[in-house]
Amino acid sequence: MTPAIAADEAGAKPQEVEAVVSNIKNHAEFTPYSAPLKFEPKAAYTATAESVRDSLIRQWNLTHQELARKDPKQAYYISMEFLQGRALLNALGNLDITNAYAQALKQLGYDLETIADQEPDAALGNGGLGRLASCFLDSLATLNLPAGGYGLRYKHGLFRQSIDKAGQHEEPENWLEMGHPWEVQRHGIVYPIQFFGEVQVGENGKRRWVGGEKVLAQAYDVPIPGYKTKNTISLRLWSAAVPAEYFQLEKFNNGEYEEATKAWATAEQICAVLYPGDGTEAGKLLRLKQQYMLCSASVQDIVETFLDRRPEGSPVNWSEFPEKVAIQMNDTHPTLAAPELMRLLLDREGLGWDEAWGIVTKTVNYTNHTVLPEALEKWPLAVFSKLLPRHLEIIAEIDKRFIASLREQHKSASKEELADLISRLRILGGVLSDDEKELGATQNGGEPPKQVVRMANLCVIAAQVVNGVAQIHSDIVKNETFNDFYKMWPHKFQNKTNGVTPRRWLKFANPKLSAVISKWLGSDEWVTDTTKLTGLRKFADDKKLHEEWVSAKKAAKEVLAGYIKDKIGVTVNPSALFDIQIKRIHEYKRQLLNILGVIYRYKQLKAMSPEERAKVVPRVVMFGGKAFATYTQAKRIVKLVTDVGSVVNNDAKIGDLLKVVFLTNYNVTVAETAIPASELSQHISTAGMEASGTSNMKFALNGCLIIGTLDGANVEIREQVGEENFFLFGITADEVPIARKEREEGKFLPDPRFVEACDFVRSKAFGDYDYQPLLDSLEGNSGFGRGDYFLVGRDFATYLEAQKKVDEAYLDQDRWARMSIMSTAGSGVFSSDRTIKQYAEEIWNIKPLKVE
């Protein structure tokens, strides 16, 4: 459901509105997406989108012309995910033409909200990684910075989530079914991508990668407009295709249809879905194909742009490349950008190793987004060497030279110390160094070591700058995850705390609250300078502001309640406390802690007298997020949430005092409805495991209070909004290893309330589903599971105490309103504009280039 559009009916001139009406009609008549003589909602959406795109393309072309003419240093953001959300309202808002289109559509018999609801979310991402990338693009354009993004054009995204009595189901997300009016296929921008084959050595010693499988990377560009600026940058998406000559006509005519079209089918697999399962070798090969195609096509395009901008006829000075190009690798997925740039410089351009490596290490940068071992990618050497033989040679040479530098730097170390250091830091894990061979080193009880390519290590070695995404995360990166590297290269490591765009996440998503903010601050300058939000602090005790603030929040809650009724079939009371946890389902994010807390609350409510219940704060607890298709425990958590909801929501004795809702198929559009309506949001990950989080920033920006641990950006949010406006619980990151050890050794005695909640699940109160494997994972002393690795039991008691403080605060609505205002007032620092300015000045060294 689209938020209500705050359009001023008098805000557009009649001639502007008539021009829009005419343009929409023109597109409706000539668009290929709709049947003749029909102007149904989907056709109206497409015509409207193409009309808006006309304005974007004009600005887009001006931006490209200015970049080509002035040839500034440019930043390129490479990411496997871009969680864009819907484009129509964002584009209208950034172009400042919402009023004209709202009035034009009214003349055509539609309201803008209805038309906006026809747009599917672009299925190009899954969670915070992709949404951050999209917020960054918005800020890059708004700040007039010369930059752009590169991603893959997934046909079906991750998956569309549906929920029934059996739990979560995954279905294809057919977002391209009706076409995508925001993209432009660049037929002239196609790059060859190679897989498999072999490396041949010529007489002159030059190496050539030959044979194997070949596909083409076809460019599709999506315009990204800045806010009230002409600058419009590009998100370039790659789609896999094959040359026409790969279609074997003779075999097709002989009835060998599958063989004749095999190359096409193989190419189609590459961009079919985001993150295909990699439990098999075929799955690993496909995931690695995706990553390499993204990196190869993007790097080829970057090099081509650099060459195109050189004066015609002049020799290429490759030392200028880092002065014109900055590449940002968003997590480890784009690691192959570094060896791919090496390959092009060595094999195609004929540079020597030292010159090429010098260019690479001054060009590429690496953002680390996690300390979880499974996200620090390690590819089996056998798989990697099969798919990318030339790149393995290059990586092996990087590894060899890096080991030589370690030997040089640690001449005084013993053989044992040196061997241990090399085995930890080298890129080719499990490949024994000379020292290890001499020492007879093995692992796994004498078994040969597993040979892998450690992508994170390659990133750190190749990158000019390595950054974390919140201060606590960056400290962990330096002091734990990459401590040995940090000791060697302290100058490489930086922190860049994440941010979110205030345009999409407050001004457009929450227009009523935005209007209140602008009124009390005297302008809407905060939209591009969120530091001005601190001005709300001086009005935090003003009862008139309280009244307007609560009214705006109540309106958003009513919109969400309507969405829940329409889409989920559950009736909720908008006067209840709206408590929301929406993010990827993962054990470390501890949705399990949340639902066990709900279960305990429900059990207590059932035991209360009617008089006691009358004093209880009514609460609607909402969950949203996708569990990865092969992540069994996460899917069990989804099942438990929905089972608890089925029982609680139908318990007449409890009524509106407690409701449990799972917001199915969580995406950007759902978030744009849920976040403005939120009053409490749960960011309760095990301390030290969440890199940053960005949903916590979106919630705080919208006046939502946070209950959470000292993890990720929670630490900095609490500092900014004030400790008294944050519900803190749980142990700290430095206490986590101690707590885990106590749990393993049987020294920890769980709180009786935790045992009571778990036993209530075991009692089959929520159905006959077998939750024992999920509950076993919480058992630290029984030999089951992983000893409650994420410390749900350890933090349960303080979590319940924090929830009591939430109820106490909500009973005093004046106090809650003040806390909510202070939350928004303290959130300005978490704008993606601030983050991007820091990247531009401290990593990329790029400067604004405004299109006049």
326, 75 Cβ separation under 8 angstroms: yes
Three-state DSSP at 419 gives helix
Q: Residue 400 catalytic? A: no
DSSP state of 430: T
Q: How far apart are CA 656 and CA 651, in angstroms?
A: 9
Does the annotation count 501 as an active-site position?
no
Q: Which of 390, 635, 639, 698 is catalytic?
A: 698
Are 394 and 346 in contact, with CB atoms under 8 Å apart?
A: yes
Catalytic hit among 98, 363, 694, 835: 694
In whole angstroms, give the CA distance from residue 27 to residue 46. Answer: 8
Under 8 Å between Cβ of 120 and 817: no
CA distances to 12, 288, 436 from 271, rounded to whole Å, are 42, 12, 41
Distance, CA of 245 to chain centre: 38
The catalytic residue among 27, 369, 390, 492 is: 369
Strands (E), 711-808: 726-728
847 in catalytic set: no
Query: Is residue 651 within 8 Å of 644, Cβ to Cβ?
Result: no
> Which tokens belong to 710?
């000292």
Distances in whole angstroms, Cα of residue 418 to Cα of each of 151, 411, 430, 446, 788: 40, 9, 15, 20, 35
Q: Residue 815 and residue 809: Cα distance in Å, rounded? A: 7
Token pair of 148, please?
Answer: 């752009």
Tell me how far apart the alpha carbons of residues 845 and 702 are, in angstroms, rounded to a whole number. Answer: 32
Residue type for 366, please? Y
Say whether 584 is catalytic.
yes
589 included as an active-site residue: yes
Question: Tokens in use for 447?
Answer: 């078994």
Q: State yes or no: is 343 an active-site residue.
A: no
Show Cβ contacts of residue 749 under 8 Å, excluding neighbours closer than 6 positions.
none
Cβ–Cβ contacts within 10 Å for residue 336, how many?
A: 28
The token duo for 332 is 């480890």
Q: Which of 426, 584, 619, 740 is an active site residue?
A: 584
Per annotation, catalytic residue among 289, 426, 583, 683: 583
At which residue do the structure tokens 């009035």 appear?
A: 103
Cα torsion 512, 514, 516, 518: sign: negative
Task: Please pick, among 73, 589, 619, 818, the residue that the annotation labels catalytic.
Answer: 589
CA distances from 301 to 77, 218, 240, 241 (A): 13, 11, 15, 17
**Can you tell me the distance from the alpha carbon of 270 to that of 242, in angstroms, rounded to the nearest whole number?**
12
For the annotated catalytic residues, the residue numbers are 369, 583-584, 589, 694, 698
